[in-house]
A and B are shown apart, each in its own frame.
Chain A
Amino acid sequence: MMSDAGETDESLLTRYARGEAEAFEVLYRRHEMRTWRYLERNVGNRATADELMQEVWFAVAREAPNYRATARFTTWLFTIAHNRMIDWMRTNRPQASLSTLGYESGSVILQLTANPSTGPLAAAVAQEESAALAEALTRLPAEQRDAFLMQIEGGLGVEEIAAISGVSFETAKSRLRYARSKLREALKEFA
């Protein structure tokens, strides 16, 4: 991925591994929101997302010297984020299967419907659409939600999602197909 300045993520991380802290800040700001949204929409809790966010990026900083440019940075980043998120779920919600994990009451809906920037009618429609999307995300089985968020936030392909999730290509493809189908169905009334 290229930055506005034309420098790739991989190059930035390599520069950081050589001791250039500024390169890390560019990299962090570039991927801050997508990482956070991936975590927050998976765990459904902002405080937990903050906690995991910090751990993920601490790991990125710590492991930067071990990073090899043969791997795409976003794949590497979302591998770390996914692993950390799964660890947290296993530790903190052992009684719940991934499929039954829910969101904080209304948190995503509130987030997705905030800041309407247009007129009252458009804002109302946008809120409805955002609410519908958030609710559909909440209803998705955790594995499907995770796969979809990896694709939409991380820009990852099926093969990458399969590898990160530890499932076969077909399974990952199926999860994405179901997730997208359900989300599309939930939003079909919105243009």
Chain B
Amino acid sequence: MNERPPNQEDDLDEKYRRASARDGSGPSESVRRAVLRHAAELAAKRGPRELAPTKIDFEQPAANDARWRPAAYGGLAAAALVGLLVAPHFMPPSSRPPASQPPSSRQPASPPSAPTTAPRSAAEQAAAAPVPESRAPALALNPALAPRPAPTPRAGVPMETPRVPSVDDAASASNRSRRYAPAAAQRVPAPPPAPGALAAAAQAPIDAATALRQAAQSGDTQRLQALLGEQIDVNARDGAGRTALMLAVYRGQAQAVDALLARGADPNAADASGTTPLQAAVAGNQSGIIAALRRAGAR
């Protein structure tokens, strides 16, 4: 790694140092003051990252002493209100709605067995879509959700036009089925993952570029390969100007480095301080990574 050059055995170093020791020159005092002042200012701006041990004065009243009661009571009241609103949804229905209830206030009138010829909206189709088998038992056990026969017109009573179910209806029905049959819902297989890891990353709180850098840094080559299979900027940088490749180098993740280089990562993309991946690899004594970077044209 740090191979010494030839002719190291001579006393050139000693002569140089002897001459330097006789050399009384150095940076001016103004430079020294400016550097130390600037560093102190930056340190003051950053502040201590680790909190010093806190001394607690138990005799001093708490800063929030005057506000804790309203906050506590308000919190309790809010919890009670939420409970009142939510609890009925977990209670099983006591009985079927009366038969005399107008159809417009009930579930969608058209059972799956009696399709109408009229064009149906997307929401209607969604509401009337066949129930998955895994959910079917739950619906069958719940009379409130079981398909009902279409109401028969009575003599002298005009048949009301069935209300077109809305999207809300479909969502509501779906929610109800989950509420009333939690056990069945658990048996329902999870929906298949979105196609492509990039889509999954897009759904996550972080963006795809950040996910890529995290995968590179942690050496998660499986995730890295999945991300690299998508349209992604492989040279995207973080706040310090570091690419995924640079982070992989810093952490010594040789496989991640190989994967990124194979995907066209720039081997010479320096970070904000001007450090290149090769310099970082050399400093970290990563011989395998150094070789890989050099093969990729790193300078």
A residues whose Cβ falls under 8 Å from a Cβ of B:
16-21, 24-25, 28, 32-33, 36-37, 40, 46, 49-50, 53-54, 57-59, 61-68, 70-72, 75-76, 79-80, 83, 111-117, 126, 129-130, 133-134, 151-152, 156-160, 162-164, 166-168, 173, 176-177, 180-181, 183-184, 187, 190
| Residues in A whose Cβ lies below 8 Å from that of B10 | 180, 184
Q: Are B39 and A68 in contact (CB under 8 A)?
A: no
Is B1 part of the binding interface, using a Cβ–Cβ cutoff of 8 Å?
Answer: yes
Best-buried of B7, B36, B40, B273 by chain A (most CB within 10 Å):
B273
- What chain A residues lie within 8 Å of B20 (beta carbons)? 33, 37, 112
B27 within 8 A of A: yes
Q: Are B22 and A21 touching (Cβ within 8 A)?
A: no
B2 close to chain A: CB less than 8 A: yes
B43 touches which of A16, A40, A70, A79 (Cβ 8 Å): A16
Q: How many residues of B contact A (CB 8 A)?
A: 62
Q: Chain B, 259-299, contact with A by CB distance < 8 Å: what is the 0/1 string?
A: 00000000000011111101111111000001000100001
Lowest 3 A-B CB distances belong to which pairs? A157-B2, A71-B283, A176-B5
For the A-B complex, the count of residue pairs with Cβ-Cβ distances under 8 Å equals 188
For B198-222 the 0/1 string (1 means CB < 8 A from A) is 0000000000000000000000000
Q: Among B11-19, B56-64, B176-184, which stretch is in contact with chain A? A: B11-19
A19 nearest CB across to chain B (Å): 4
Across the interface, do A20 and B19 meet the contact criterion of CB distance under 8 Å? no
Taking chain A's interface residues, is the majority helix, strand, or loop, or is none over half, making it mixed? helix
- Contacts A/B (CB < 8 Å), 10 sampled: A21-B43, A50-B28, A53-B35, A61-B38, A70-B280, A70-B284, A114-B23, A129-B15, A160-B279, A163-B279
Contacts of B44 in A (CB 8 A): 19, 21
